Structure formats: structure tokens, C-alpha cells
Amino acid sequence: MKPSILILDYSVNRQETAVIRSCIDKSLNVDSMFIDTKESFPDNLIEKAYTHVIHSGSVLSINETEPFTEKAIKYIRKLTTKGVWQMGICFGHQLVARALIGLDAVQASPKGFEVGWEPVHFNARGMELLGVRETEKVWQHHFDEVIELPDGSELLATNSHSQIQAYINFNKHLLGTQFHPEFNRESGNAYFMNDSLNIEKQNFKVEELIKHGPSMDTGKVFFEFFLAQKCTN
């Protein structure tokens, strides 16, 4: 059975959907919803038979409670009970941790803003599952981080900024990344250019950031791996 995919786009500027869709085989069924209010999160969403749900990144802070937060938390918990695979990206990764553990699982990073094409280090398990090298450069843009994972999780990647950069949980059907695998060099550097005022307020030089790019096809690696996982509902 082909995957039936839902993208929940929390990005505020509504640009996550397009870059995530660009990483997914066009022959697959993909629905998407922009989530920014309580009303935008359907009450009956759990009744839809999705096999894979992707929780996007966002400029929002996981340490704040948004109008949709309570509904999103309930939905994440119900999906976990149903055995539906969920992928969290940055804010979405943090949202899953907050839903399944609580606010103690997330924090504002003590090291501040992480931005740019930054290295992450994959352990043996990460290299085995994903077919990546020990160190890869990926797209980063975040202030918050996850510091505790659901029971049964396996850490896949780390770096000096945030200990939890990627993980897998086969029992709870979870894949999470602190970084953004959906951005390629073109889309990632375009984002940096558009966000240049904010980035430079944090004492980073955009012209230096855009000289770089990913060391692998992150979209292909992570989304193909995620969608290959089988739902048990």
C-alpha cells in the first residue's frame, strides 16, 4: 500500500509545505494544512486514514503556547496510539517531544541561535539506517532544542550546539530532526537571503552562509527513509 501523507505546516509564512512536497515522490498522495489558529486544526483530523504525518518547522518558539498547541498535542498522542508514523522537523520535532513528554523535554538553547550549513555527526546506528557519512552538513535555523526523548528512542545524530540532532523511535513510530532536511542549497540559501535582517541581528553574515550548501541530498535521504517505514494502524 502506498503511503498517504499529511503535512502539518506550522511555518507562519506558509513556505514549509512547498519545500517538503519537493522532497516527496509526486506519485504519492500528499495533503497539507496550514496551522496557525485553533480553528485551523480540524477537530476530526484523527479520523483521516493517513499513514505518515509530517510536523513542519516554524519561526514560532516551542516554549510558547499557541492557539493550536493543545489540539496538536492531542493529535500527536492519538497518532502514537494508532501506530501512525510521525516525522518532526525542528519546531515539529520539538512539538512531538512536548506532546509526549512535556515542557521539560524542550528548552531555549543555551548556545543561542544555530544557523547555516552546519555539521552534524551521525553515530554508527545513524550511518547504518540512513546510509550517510559520519559527518554531514545540513541546514540549521533555530533557537530552541529537544533535551529529552520519548522512551525507546535511539539517538542518530548530534553536534556541539544541540545534543539531539536526529533520532528514531521504532516502537512509537517517530523520526525527528533538529535540522531541516527539506532544504536544498537553492531553497536554503534563498531562505537565508530573505531572512537576512533577522540573521544579521544575531551577528551572522548572510554572505558567508550562502557560500555553502548541504553535503548530501538530505531531502532524498530523510523523506525516503521516513516514507519507507510501515504504519501499523
What are the catalytic residues? 90, 180, 182
Distances 29 to 9, 85, 88, 113 between C-alpha atoms, Å: 16, 15, 19, 35
Q: What is the CA radius of gyration of the chain?
A: 16
Contact between 95 and 10 (Cβ < 8 Å): yes
**CA atoms in the 13 A half-sphere facing the CB of 116:** 17
**Helix (H) or strand (E) run with residue 190 in it:** helix 185-194
One-letter amino acid for residue 98 of the chain? R
Distances 77 to 8, 46, 82, 95 between C-alpha atoms, Å: 15, 10, 9, 11
d(CA 185, CA 58): 19
107: left (phi over 0), alpha (psi -120 to 50) or beta: beta
Say which DSSP state 102 is in. Answer: -
d(CA 89, CA 9): 10
